[in-house]
Structure 1
Amino acid sequence: MAHSLTVLYFAAARERAGTSRESLEVPAGTRVSELLGLLASRHPGLAPLLPHLRVAVNQEFSAPDAALPPGAEVALIPPVAGGAEGLFRVVDRPLRLEEVVEAVSDAARGGLVTFSGAVRNLTKGRRVLRLEYEAYPPMAEKKLAEIGDEVAAQWPGTRLAIMHRVGTLQPGELAVVIAAAAPHRKEAFRGCEHAIERLKQDVPIWKKEFFEDGEVWVGLGP
């Protein structure tokens, strides 16, 4: 017996597959690893990416041997460069640091630490013309909120807010803004640092760098 599912492709996987989404019929009990084999046969350009991909099923990372439920939404997640109290958004407009500051500030939290990540004009000596950020928005916002939960659990009383921009950014424009507020400065510093590091690990947001002599998805190499 077969059932249908939807496959979403992002960043380098989208380019290799030549599509951003497709619907497939697969046998009942098909596992994640088996689906990847099927997709590689349908889109041969995907095969070299498979060792680098993670798979999300219904917006949760999944193991290779996990069975796919009927009607699943399966996302192929290349390397990335809710419920928490705070603000967690992926937007396609210019960022303002004041937005995240306002989201976490109150009279009970005397320590406030912020981080602004702007596009550099040089990477390893190569001049950057522009960056293009792409995201899987619902899952990205869910993972950002989970980082907020982690910070609140590890440093009680700490509130976090993260906003990340997608689309085309020029050197000097803000790609991400983060604010952490806590009753004391030490927890605010640690919460902000934790957010910066975790953002690079599990949040499905990708960055493509464009240079005078080429382009590259960050995390996959040339």
Structure 2
Amino acid sequence: MRLLFYIAVLVASGHIILAQDCKEQVLEALHCMRKYDPEQSLYIRYNIKTTFAQPDSIQESTVEIAASGQLFKMSAGNTEMFQNDKYNLTFIHDRKLIFITHAVKERLMPWESIGVLQDTLITKASVLTCERQCMDNPANSEQDHVVMALNDVGKKRLNVERMTYWIDPALSQVKKFRITYYDKRVIDNILVDIEEYHHNFSKNIIDSKVQKALADPGRLATLFSGYAIKDNR
């Protein structure tokens, strides 16, 4: 009986360590993807799919983020934001509007904001499943599938029922994740699918026309005729 007790303790301990390893793996992957060295370049494109509970509908949008040195670009739907070391230009294309502000020096990129939120949720969650899966595309590749859940108090306080992550273990990158909400009266879940993620990419993130406007916002009216300009500097 005592031997069986020790075996049970060992098995239980091993399971806890495995769960903790999975949690650390997710945190490490998120932290790695949030690192940005201004001397390098970064490009991210991800799709956000929001499933609403009432009415039963799905809304999708694609977000593109690029940064290189002091240059920064973010686009989502009809909105684009550009920034250099001095100015920030926000274009709302469907309303033909351009907003000018001073550059945000200590900006927290949307991608970083997502990561900070994930940290809070993960530290309070328990691992339900953690398994490595073989993928057909690319052939013979592997992906880790991790599901975490909050306890009853956490669910009510943070309004999150569970989090699901798909991770590329070779690259230590999160490929996609889903947040399932506790109170489903408005939103059931949000799925974020990272389509591209690159360091040191060679794309020109801001075209020459916008770069001219960033260098001298006084040229905006000439460069973008037909747009109303709101100067909030």
TM-score over 0.5 (shorter chain): no
State the structure with more CA Rg.
2
Query: Given the two structures, how large is their TM-score scaled by the length of structure 1?
Result: 0.24
Higher percent of residues as strand: 2
